[in-house]
Amino acid sequence: MSLLETQNFLARLYTDETLRRTFLTEPEKIGEEYNLTKKEIVELAAILPDELNFFADSLFWKRLREVEKFLPLTRKVLDKDFEKCFRGFSQNFNPKSVKKHLEDAIEFCSFLQTKEIEPLWAKDLAKFEQARLVFNSNARNFIIERFNYDIKRILKELSRKDTKTQSVFPKRRTFAFWLKIGKITKHFIR
């Protein structure tokens, strides 16, 4: 196995909890599935499970903390569910770009929009933060998003320090626009 293939396998081993557990119980089987040589299987299996799990956990927590910085409002609203959802997300997604944490945050927002989360308007909040990240990363010069809840009111409420994150917001279709022309950027919510 080439160095790149070995590194990719290790990255997957560190980030995929199911694969890691299976490898620790059946190293030969998993090693063969990933085209590892007998020597590579023995060397990797010799890594103490505690060390492997510790390193994997530290990578997870680093990813989580970085994503929280990009998604402060979604983090605030979901509270402990944010970590739980991110753990599920991180098992199946590994960023590939140079801006790994930004890619993680953007894809995590897509993931949240497919899940049953409470409060229901948190999906719109994740969608808003995702659009903002995509726009601010210069990926696009124009973005328009439709929301099921009054995103303007949600943002206003969340900016207050005394806001309860489980507030109830009525359904009200709103739109947010981001536009960049040269050095001029505009953002509207209607």
Cβ contacts of residue 12 below 8 Å, gap of 6+?
Answer: 19, 94
Asked whether residue 48 carries a pLDDT value surpassing 80, the answer given is no
For 19-33, what is the mean pLDDT? 90
For 20-48, what is the mean pLDDT? 87
Name beta bridge partners: 178.
Answer: 143, 187
> What does the domain layout of the chain look like in residue ranges?
1-47, 48-189
- Tally of CB atoms within 10 A around 64: 18
Distances (CA, A) of 146 to 14, 66, 143: 37, 27, 10
* pLDDT value at residue 123: 97
Asked whether residue 13 carries a pLDDT value surpassing 90, the answer given is no
Asked whether residue 35 carries a pLDDT value surpassing 80, the answer given is yes
Confidence of residue 1 (pLDDT cuts 50, 70, 90): low
Task: Tell me which of 5-14, 22-31, 32-41, 65-74 is least confident.
Answer: 5-14
Confidence of residue 69 (pLDDT cuts 50, 70, 90): very high
Distance CA 127, CA 113 (A): 7
Q: Of all helices (H) and strands (E), which one includes residue 78?
A: helix 72-78
What integer best gives the mean pLDDT of the chain?
A: 90
DSSP structural state of residue 108: H
Name beta bridge partners: 49.
Answer: none
Cα torsion for 181, 67, 145, 161, to the nearest 10°?
-100
9-13, 53-57, 124-128: range with highest mean pLDDT: 124-128
For 23-31, what is the mean pLDDT? 90
- Tally of CB atoms within 10 A around 135: 21
pLDDT in tens, 156-173: 999 886 656 667 888 999
| Residue 80: both structure tokens together | 């402990």
pLDDT in tens, 80-132: 999 999 999 998 898 888 999 999 999 999 999 999 999 999 999 999 999 99
pTM assigned to the model: 0.79
Helix (H, G, I), strand (E, B) or coil at 165: coil
Name beta bridge partners: 179.
Answer: 142, 186
Cα 83 off chain centre by: 10
| Residue 89: both structure tokens together | 């997300």
